[in-house]
Amino acid sequence: MLNPAHRMPSWKVLACAALAVVLAPLAARAEPAHGIAMHGDPALPADFAALPYANPDAPKGGRIAYGFTGTFDSLNPFIVQGNAPRGLLDNLLGNNVWDTLLARSADEPFTLYGLIAETVEVPDDRSWVEFQLRPEAKFSDGTPLTVDDLIFTVDLLKAKGRPVYRNRFKNVTSIDKVGDRGVRFTFGSGADRELPLLIGLTPVFPKDRTDAASFDKSTLAPLIGSGPYMFDKVEPGTRVTLKRNPDYWAKDLPIKRGFDNFDEISLEYFRDGNAYFEAFKTGAFDVIFESDPQRWTDGYGFPAAKTGKVVLDEVESGSPKGMSGFVLNTRREIFRDPRVREAMNLLFDAEWVNRNLYGGIYQRTASYFQGSALSAIGKPMDDAEKALLAPFPDTVLPAVADGTYAPPKSDGSGRDRKQLKAALTLLGEAGWKLDGGALKNAAGQPFTFEFLAKTKEEERLALAWQPTLKTVGIAMSIRLVDSTQYFDRQKKFDFDALQMLWTASLSPGNEQNNRWSSQSAETEGTFNYAGASSTAIDAMIDALLSARERPAFEAAVRALDRLLISGRYVVPLFHTPKDWIARWKRIAVPEKSALTGAQPTTWWYQGE
């Protein structure tokens, strides 16, 4: 009989061997528990009264309105087709319409506690996970939520859901009922230690009231959920109103104490950023999660802000800052050479842009996990990282390996001659030469590409980049399109370059497959907009998903960070030093913030 390693690619064998040196001994098998953590044990005991950042005594009532730019044409956020409004199933604004088996605590890197599921059980090797559903769990129409509904939902999402769901369930080899309320998911050989937690984030649809045949088609017909809110009114493209279910089955559970306090949630869309901000100033909606430093410093001098009716909060967050950047689509021939991508970075004068567009308040982003122990910036590779990366020589740039890398820093003039010269040298090495004011390749084809933008702010930032590119003979056109066209093209990778933010957490996991794996590069609807396809990246994602203890996990994430930085897939932009939130004073917030920052699901209405 062949050793299982003989069926694995050689890099996986080597990577697994390297990882073994930093893995801790196996822990004892777990019993049914109230929660599960990616590493270690949940911080809260089984008899916890409420999550530490929620106010259990928060009053119920009133409304909150969230504003967005663009539009929507679907109410189904689980599929590729169409664009659903935010706030239905949202990491920040809440899983308002659909509950999940387990619920995340924002005060821990990655810990889930029971919601639909009363208990969760995994063996030491996490080769399966078993849930016992609460007998009181119900859909919003009052009908019981059953194991059959859960199994139906998994099958439906596996067949017709977004790639993130299809990838999540592809390693489930069997789903078995356990008694009346239990269900066990058994995993195949390609599974990882995060998978039980991801299965815990599964929503549930009613089997006999969900149209499976048309599920993957965009629709404005509301789906039934089991969450705290139900659809009330839908104004196509402009507004969705949710109303709190007074009979919500989970409202008295400890995991929900102090949450879901508004009687009504309004999700409102505005045609552009200017209309959006003007609407906020009049009180048309209640909160802005601000990302424009110039507006943060200069734009809140309107009467309501001066009199204190609008409050400006600066919130510390323990989460990494993530990567905001101009994505260069490596599926396009002009961006396949990393020297070209490095030159594009040199041609972005971040110092000039930050000073002239943003008042110098932004900080330049260098890492995909900026400001955390997961970031490679300022840290030379340790022995664990070296072992992980040993099978992949020359995949990490020397400066990234020794911790001295930083994004290029210009003189701020907008025409830094040293950086222009360095960019032209790289472009020349890649086969591009200046010819009559235009940059051309050996075949005489000019270097031209299109920047796809969906907002005036993105357009403004691209316009600030355009003159420098023109200086070296690169012609970048800018196309501003409506949000529906933008997201359709984005999902199909039908673009040359665009602006993107990859958020980050303290526990990156399978979402990294969706962003950076070789498979996701070929799968429409994933977040691998850059088209990254690398066996080294695949191996680091496998390593971080296999890590049993936090030190091994952090080493794998830092190694991944080094590979992404070295791949030069984006022109890094900026991040804010803190989270900036503007809110009308009628919206109250708890005194204590969560580890990962503000949690709107714990806010409440306190009146004018």
Tokens 């101009």 found at: 326
* Superfamily for domain range 53-97+227-317+579-608: Periplasmic binding protein-like II (3.40.190.10)
pLDDT of residue 179: 94
Strands (E), 503-567: none
d(CA 424, CA 153): 54
* 82 contacts 74 by C-beta, under 8 angstroms: yes
DSSP string, 38-64: SSS--SS-TT--S-TTS-TTPPP--EE
pLDDT of residue 10: 43
* 262 contacts 63 by C-beta, under 8 angstroms: yes
323-575 CATH fold: Dipeptide-binding Protein; domain 3 (3.10.105)
pLDDT of residue 30: 57
Residues 6+ apart with CB under 8 A from 554: 373, 374
pLDDT of residue 473: 97
Strands (E), 252-299: 264-270, 287-290
Question: What residue type is assigned to position 237 of the chain?
Answer: G
d(CA 487, CA 494): 10
pTM, entire model = 0.76
Question: What residue type is assigned to position 519 of the chain?
Answer: Q
For 309, counting Cβ atoms within 10 Å of its Cβ (0-12 exposed, 13-18 middle, 19+ buried), the class is middle
Phi, psi of 579 (to 5 degrees): -80, 125
DSSP string, 445-458: -B-EEEEEESSHHH
- Residue 42, Cβ neighbours under 10 Å: how many? 17
pLDDT of residue 6: 35
pLDDT of residue 387: 97
* Neighbour-count burial for 406-419, b at 16+ CB within 10 Å, e otherwise: ebbebeeebebeeb
pLDDT lower than 50: segments of the chain: 1-29
d(CA 181, CA 361): 54
Q: Which two tokens stand for residue 244?
A: 């709190």
Does this chain's domain 53-97+227-317+579-608 share its CATH topology with 99-217?
Answer: yes
Tokens 């994004």 found at: 407
CATH code for the domain defined by 99-217: 3.40.190.10
Q: Which two tokens stand for residue 355?
A: 């000073």
Quick: pLDDT tens for 355-410.
998 888 889 999 999 989 999 999 999 999 999 999 999 999 999 999 999 999 99
pLDDT of residue 21: 40
Quick: pLDDT tens for 214-243.
999 999 999 999 999 999 999 999 999 999
d(CA 308, CA 311): 6
* Cα R_g (the chain), whole angstroms: 25
* Neighbour-count burial for 550-577, b at 16+ CB within 10 Å, e otherwise: bebbbbbbbbbbbbbbbbbbbbbbbbbe
d(CA 572, CA 376): 15
Domain boundaries, the chain: 53-97+227-317+579-608, 99-217, 323-575
pLDDT of residue 113: 98
Q: Which two tokens stand for residue 357?
A: 């567009």
